[in-house]
């Protein structure tokens, strides 16, 4: 287990109860990631590499710094937690048109600087993965068509219907409406229940699905520099 100093109000601990009754504390980070200290596993979802580039390919003007900002946050997470591995819960890439030569090189350079073992659970946007396998090899990322299991947790892109264990997934891009006098703000959030946890989309250039938590479920909203439990 790594010794970690949590940033004030930027990371919070959440206790998960396994089927066997065992309790495990995981860390939810405002940079839209989950860290398992006991396993040294960093979870992220819906990176959508190349989304801005895809939009620009089709003539839609999108700021060019979105990808850079996302990669800087991912680097910051690696530097904070020194994970033993990174697991991406689907939608690593957005589409083949977004994989420009510059983006491919940037990712390759990033992986050389941060060579943490990295695994991808395929998501719906990763359907072109076979056509980019060469890039994944250069990026040293292994991919899996089905869910991954790790010590009582099951990692997938979409929610699993039939499973035994705690299911972490992405896909929904969950958001939560926070009300203030005269205004309503919709913020990305972690959405956690008794046997599931949904990560916010890591890519900042995404829409979101507004969730309505049920009794016993928890919501943690994220901002540019904070994390707050609702």
For the chain, list the domains and their CATH numbers: 11-229 (3.60.21)
Is 6's pLDDT higher than 80?
Answer: no
Per-residue pLDDT, 1: 40
Per-residue pLDDT, 55: 57
Query: Is the model more confident about 203 or about 175?
Result: 175
More confident residue, 58 or 40: 40
In this structure, what is the dihedral angle of CA atoms 120, 196, 12, 212, given to the nearest 10 degrees? 120
Share of the chain above pLDDT 90, in %: 50
Compare 203 and 197 and report the one with higher pLDDT: 197
Mean pLDDT of the chain: 85
Q: Tell me the C-alpha to C-alpha distance, in Å, between residue 28 and each of 11, 37, 132, 221.
A: 5, 11, 31, 10
Q: What is the mean pLDDT of residues 106-111?
A: 90
- Please say if the pLDDT value at position 152 is more than 50: yes
In the predicted structure, residue 4 carries a pLDDT above the cut 70 = no
pLDDT of residue 88 exceeding 80, the answer is yes
Q: What's the rounded mean pLDDT across residues 40-64?
A: 74
Task: Flag whether pLDDT at 129 surpasses 70.
Answer: no
Q: Which residues of 54-75 are buried (b: 16+ CB within 10 A; e: fewer)?
A: bbbeeeeeeeeebbeebbebbe
pLDDT bracket for residue 208 (50, 70, 90): confident
> pTM of the predicted model, to two decimals?
0.89
List helix spans (H) across the chain.
51-57, 66-81, 101-113, 133-139
| Distance of alpha carbon 33 from alpha carbon 190, whole angstroms | 9
**In this prediction, what percent of the chain has a pLDDT beyond 70?**
82
Q: Report the distance separating Cα 175 and Cα 110, nearest Å.
A: 29
pLDDT surpasses 90 at 114 = yes
Per-residue buried b or exposed e for 210-230, using 16+ beta carbons within 10 Å of the residue's own CB: ebeeeeeebbbbbeeeebeee
Lowest mean pLDDT segment, chosen from 70-74, 76-80, 86-90, 101-105: 101-105
């Amino acid at each position: 287990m790594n010794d970690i100093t949590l940033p004030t109000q930027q990371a919070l601990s959440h206790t998960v109860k396994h089927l066997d009754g065992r309790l495990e504390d995981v860390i939810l980070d405002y940079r839209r990631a989950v860290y398992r200290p006991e396993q040294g596993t960093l979870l992220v979802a819906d990176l959508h590499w190349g989304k801005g580039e895809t939009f620009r390919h089709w003539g839609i003007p999108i700021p060019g710094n979105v990808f850079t900002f996302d990669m800087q946050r991912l680097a910051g997470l690696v530097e904070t937690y020194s994970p033993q591995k990174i697991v991406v819960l689907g939608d690593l890439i957005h589409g083949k048109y977004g994989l420009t030569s510059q983006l491919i090189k940037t990712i390759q350079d990033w992986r050389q600087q941060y060579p943490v073992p990295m695994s991808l659970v395929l998501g719906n946007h990763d359907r072109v993965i076979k056509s980019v396998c060469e890039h994944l090899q250069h990026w040293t990322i292994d991919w899996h068509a089905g869910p991954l299991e790790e010590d009582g947790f099951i990692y997938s892109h979409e929610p699993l219907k039939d499973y035994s264990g705690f299911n972490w997934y992405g896909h929904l891009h969950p958001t939560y409406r926070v009300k203030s006098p005269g205004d309503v703000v919709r913020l990305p959030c972690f959405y956690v229940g008794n046997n599931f946890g949904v990560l916010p989309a890591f890519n900042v250039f995404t829409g979101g699905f507004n969730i309505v938590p049920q009794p016993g479920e928890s919501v943690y909203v994220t901002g540019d520099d904070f994390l707050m439990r609702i």
